[in-house]
Chain A
Amino acid sequence: DIQMTQSPSTLSASVGDRVTITCRASQSISRWLAWYQQIPGKAPRLLIYEASTLKSGVPSRFSGSGSGTEFTLTISSLQPDDFATYYCQQYNSYWTFGRGTKVEIK
């Protein structure tokens, strides 16, 4: 099974900050990586797929990059609605999710 390692597990930031979350795959997954946002009590929301393609309707302050085994999610200017938990997911070989990164208010 492909393992996904996310870091950090928790991130404290302020509104307006630039935030970067990293996801590492245990083997190459090409660009078959997605990022999700989850607010407590709600279902995950797809933000980015194929490592860097923004889903329609997602604000452009979200961006993704990477290929192979190293990927990043960047929020260019953190907004109040962005305080949530973020998950990466590989879909090269079935699905595996990272353990999540909680973005909290500093």
Chain B
Amino acid sequence: QVQLVQSGAEVQKPGASVKVSCKAAGYTFTSYGVSWVRQAPGQGLEWMGWISAYDGTTKFAQKFQGRVSLTTDTSTSTAHLEVRSLTSDDTAVYYCARSVAALAPPDYWGQGTLVTVSS
């Protein structure tokens, strides 16, 4: 069955960077893309960006352009999100989600990774 398993919770200081991983299983990794969505405590969902696992093409929400990197490792079927220059506003649960294209809704989600930014 399709599974997206994310890395564990992180605590980082303001100004630092964080990298979250998302390991896919149960499907052909390169036939889909991976989107990243975050959810601040008690808040709604915010799309950050999408990467094609086929050719590495990326799309970003304007808000995150330049501060977020998306990569994939097809040898391990893993997608990675890196967020730089963290502030307390980046404290959130970060989700990866599978979608066939950048403009397609995701049908499977990871379990989420809590990133806490605190001095």
- The answer to whether B44 touches A94, judged by C-beta atoms less than 8 angstroms apart, is no
- The answer to whether B46 touches A92, judged by C-beta atoms less than 8 angstroms apart, is no
Given known A43-B109, A43-B110, contact A97–B103 (CB-CB < 8 A): no
- The answer to whether A98 touches B47, judged by C-beta atoms less than 8 angstroms apart, is no
- The answer to whether A94 touches B59, judged by C-beta atoms less than 8 angstroms apart, is yes
The answer, yes or no, to whether B14 is at the interface (CB within 8 Å) is no
A contact residues, total (Cβ < 8 Å): 22
What residues of chain A lie closer than 8 Å to B46, measured between beta carbons? Answer: 97
Q: What's the interface size class on B, roughly?
A: 20 to 34
Contacts of B63-119 to chain A: CB distance below 8 A = 95, 97, 102-107, 109-112
- The answer to whether A94 touches B45, judged by C-beta atoms less than 8 angstroms apart, is no
The answer, yes or no, to whether A69 is at the interface (CB within 8 Å) is no
Main secondary structure of the interface of A (DSSP, over half): loop
- The answer to whether A94 touches B107, judged by C-beta atoms less than 8 angstroms apart, is no
- The answer to whether B95 touches A87, judged by C-beta atoms less than 8 angstroms apart, is no
Q: List 29 A-B contacts (CB under 8 A).
A: A32-B103, A43-B95, A43-B97, A43-B109, A43-B110, A43-B112, A44-B37, A44-B45, A44-B95, A44-B109, A46-B105, A46-B106, A49-B105, A87-B44, A89-B45, A91-B104, A91-B105, A92-B103, A93-B103, A94-B47, A94-B102, A94-B103, A95-B35, A95-B37, A95-B47, A96-B47, A97-B47, A99-B44, A100-B44
